[in-house]
Amino acid sequence: MTTPVLEARDVTMRFGGLTAVRSVDFTVNAGEIVGLIGPNGAGKTTFFNCLTGLYVPTEGTVSYKGTVLPPKPHLVTQAGIARTFQNIRLFSNMTVLENVLVGRHTRTKEGLWSALLRGPGFKKAERASEERAMELLEFIGLAPKRDHLARNLPYGEQRKLEIARALASEPGLLLLDEPTAGMNPQETRATEELVFAIRDKGIAVLLIEHDMRFVFNLSDRVAVLVQGEKLVEGTSEVVQADERVIAAYLGEPFEGDPGEAEAAEVEAAEAAAEAPSTTSSTKGEAK
C-alpha cells in the first residue's frame, strides 16, 4: 500500500529570477489519490510540467517506480505517467475514437505517424487497438459518440475524452490538471465517480483542483503549494484544519476580534458573492 509510484526529490524550477517551484519533495503511493492545491500562481502546473518532462527542473529529480525519469514527455508517457491539461488539448477535427487511438501510440509499436496515416503496420495492430479504445470509451461513457468530432462535444465531454486519451497510454499514474474546470455540479460529481473508478483500476491519481469539495472528498492525501513551496501535506481533515492553509487562501487570520473595517470587508465580499444571480446560491446548496 505504501509502495511509491512517483517520487519527486528537491524539485526546483526557476524562470529567470522567478522561482516557480522551490525544493519540493513529493510522493504518490500505489493506490492513492493525491490532491495538489494552492492559490493561483502557486506553481502547481509548473510542478506538473516538471513531473511530466515538459520542463527540465532547474534542480531535483523525479522517479517513477524507482527509476529516475528522463525529462522528455514521450519517455515519461512511455514509462507510465499520463496527464491531462488545464486547457483542453484534443485534436478537434478528429473523431472521439481517433483521439483515443492517438493516445495509444506509445503503447503500439507503430508510432504516431503510422497511426495517423494508417500505414500497413498500423492496420495489423488496428483491431486490437480499436477494441481497447472502445473499452475505454465505454468506461468513460462516450462510446455512443465514437464517431463525433471532438470539437462538437460539449465541454464536459471534451474533458472526459481527454481522460480517456490519457488512459489509452495504459498509465500507472494519471495526472489531472483542474479536471472539473468549467464543469457544472452534475459533471463535477460524475468526474468524482470517474476518478474513484480509475483508482479502483489500480491507477494512482494526482490531481490539481480548485474545487475544494471535490479535492477533499476524493483525496487520500492533499499537499498545499504556496509560492512554489509545499506548505502542508496530510489527510483532507488535517489540511482543512490547518491555519496556514486557511491564511494562504483567505489572507492573514484576524488577530482577536475583527475591527470595523474588516467586518465591512467581509460583508462586502459576502454581498458580492450573493449578487451575481440566484443560480449561484442554489448551486452552492445543491451538494
Which residues contact Mg ion (rule: CB under 5 A)?
A: 44-45, 86
| Identity of the residue, 98 or 178, whose beta carbon is nearer to ligand ADP in the bound complex | 178
Residue 108 partner contact from ligand ADP, Mg ion, none using kind-dependent CB cut-offs of 5 to 8 Å: none
Instruction: Read off the amino acid at residue 186.
Output: Q
Site for ligand ADP in 207-246 (CB under 6 A): none
Which residues does residue 9 pair with via DSSP β-bridges, in sequence order? 61
Residue 42 partner contact from Mg ion, ligand ADP, none using kind-dependent CB cut-offs of 5 to 8 Å: ligand ADP
* Separation CA 261–CA 265 (nearest Å): 6
| Residue 95 DSSP code | B
Asked if 80 touches ligand ADP (CB under 6 A), the answer is no
| Identity of the residue, 39 or 234, whose beta carbon is nearer to Mg ion in the bound complex | 39
Asked if residue 81 lies in contact with residue 6, where contact means CB atoms within 8 angstroms, the answer is yes
| Identity of the residue, 45 or 77, whose beta carbon is nearer to Mg ion in the bound complex | 45
* Grid coordinates belonging to 109: 509499436
* Separation CA 97–CA 99 (nearest Å): 5
Alpha helices in the chain (DSSP H): 44-51, 73-79, 96-103, 111-117, 120-140, 155-167, 185-200, 212-218, 236-241, 243-250, 260-274, 278-286
Taking CB under 6 A as the criterion, the residue among 5, 8, 11, 20 binding ligand ADP is 20
User: Which residue has the CB atom at the shortest distance from Mg ion?
Assistant: 45
* Grid coordinates belonging to 5: 509510484
Residue 43 partner contact from ligand ADP, Mg ion, none using kind-dependent CB cut-offs of 5 to 8 Å: ligand ADP
Site for ligand ADP in 26-55 (CB under 6 A): 38, 40-46
| Identity of the residue, 44 or 145, whose beta carbon is nearer to Mg ion in the bound complex | 44
Q: How far is the CB of 24 from ligand ADP (least distance, A)?
A: 12
* Grid coordinates belonging to 72: 522528455
Asked if 179 touches ligand ADP (CB under 6 A), the answer is no
Which residues does residue 176 pair with via DSSP β-bridges, in sequence order? 207
* Grid coordinates belonging to 59: 534542480
Residues contributing to the site for ligand ADP (CB under 6 A): 15, 18, 20, 38, 40-46
